[in-house]
A and B are shown apart, each in its own frame.
Chain A
Amino acid sequence: ETVMTQSPATLSVSPGERATLSCRASQSVSNNVAWYQQKPGQAPRLLIYGASTRATGIPARFSGSGSGTEFTLTISSLQSEDFAVYCCQHHNNWPWTFGQGTKVEIK
């Protein structure tokens, strides 16, 4: 099973600033990584799949990059609605697994 490890666990950022979140796979997953946003009491929301493809309706301030074992989600200019938990998931081979999440909080 491929383990997905996210860092940092918590990221404190001021509105308007850039946020960079990392996700590392325990073995290569090619570019088969998705990123989700989750707010309290809500289901996750797909942001990125295939490491860098934005899902339908996702603003351009969200971007993803990486391949192999190292992946990054960047939020270029944080808006108030972006403060949430973000998690990565590989979709390379079963079982697909999620990272434990990074909480982006207001600084």
Chain B
Amino acid sequence: EVQLLESGGGLVQPGESLRLSCAASGFTFSSYAMGWVRQAPGEGLEWTSIISGSGDNTYYADSVKGRFTISRDNSKNTLYLQMNSLRVEDTAIYYCAKRLAAAGAVDYWGQGTLVTVSS
């Protein structure tokens, strides 16, 4: 059974940093691209970043480019999101997402971790 378990969310002040983790199990982690999708309170979904299975290729939304870094450790089956220079508008639930092999859709989601940026 595929499981994605996020951790690392919390309350931070604007300008601070936070690192999210996603522990994956139930599939061959290194074979799949993974990403982070966020959802601000009462809002729609937004892809923030995605990383290839090998970790060689990464893509970012313009809203987080230069501030967020996605990475993975395939030996630990873990996905990361380093978030620097956090802004109030980064407040959201952050979902770890496994990309479907056949298309750029998400076939498995974590339960989400809440990041709140507030002074």
Q: How far is the CA of A92 from the CA of B112 in the complex (A)?
A: 25
Q: How far is the CA of A56 from the CA of B62 in the complex (A)?
A: 32
Interface size of B by CB at 8 A reads 20
Q: How far is the CA of A36 from the CA of B108 in the complex (A)?
A: 11
A91-B103, A96-B104 known; A44-B61 Cβ under 8 A: no
Inter-subunit contact B106/A44 (CB<8 Å): yes
Task: Tell me what chain B mostly uses at the interface: helix, strand, loop, or mixed.
Answer: loop
Number of A-B residue pairs, CB cutoff 8 Å, is: 61
Closest CB-CB distance, B52 to chain A, in whole Å? Answer: 12
Query: C-beta contact mask, A82-103 vs B, less than 8 Å → 1, else 0?
Result: 0000010101101111111100
Chain A residues near B (Cβ < 8 Å): 1, 32, 34, 36, 43-46, 49-50, 53, 55-56, 87, 89, 91-92, 94-101
Task: Tell me what chain A mostly uses at the interface: helix, strand, loop, or mixed.
Answer: loop
Closest CB-CB distance, A32 to chain B, in whole Å? Answer: 7
Inter-subunit contact A44/B45 (CB<8 Å): yes
Residues in chain A near residue B50, CB distance under 8 A:
94, 96
Interface positions of B from 84 to 119, Cβ below 8 Å from A: 95, 100, 102-107, 109-112
